[in-house]
Amino acid sequence: MQVTIVHVHVKPEHVEDFIAATRENHLASVQEPGNLRFDVLQLEEDPTRFVLYEAYADEAAAAAHKETAHYRRWREAVAEWMAEPRQGIRYRGLFPESGA
Q: What's the pLDDT score for residue 96?
A: 85
In tens, the pLDDT along 18-65 reads 999 999 999 999 999 999 999 999 999 999 999 999 999 999 999 999
Say what the pTM is: 0.93
Domains of the chain: 2-92 (3.30.70.100)
pLDDT averaged over the chain? 96
Integer Cα distance of 40 and 91 in angstroms: 17
Residue 49: phi and psi, rounded to 5, are: -115, 135
Whether the Cβ atoms of residue 50 and residue 42 lie closer than 8 Å to each other: yes
Distance separating alpha carbons of residues 77 and 37, to the nearest angstrom: 22
| DSSP, res 13 | G
Q: How many other C-beta atoms are found inside a 10 Å radius of the C-beta of residue 89? A: 9
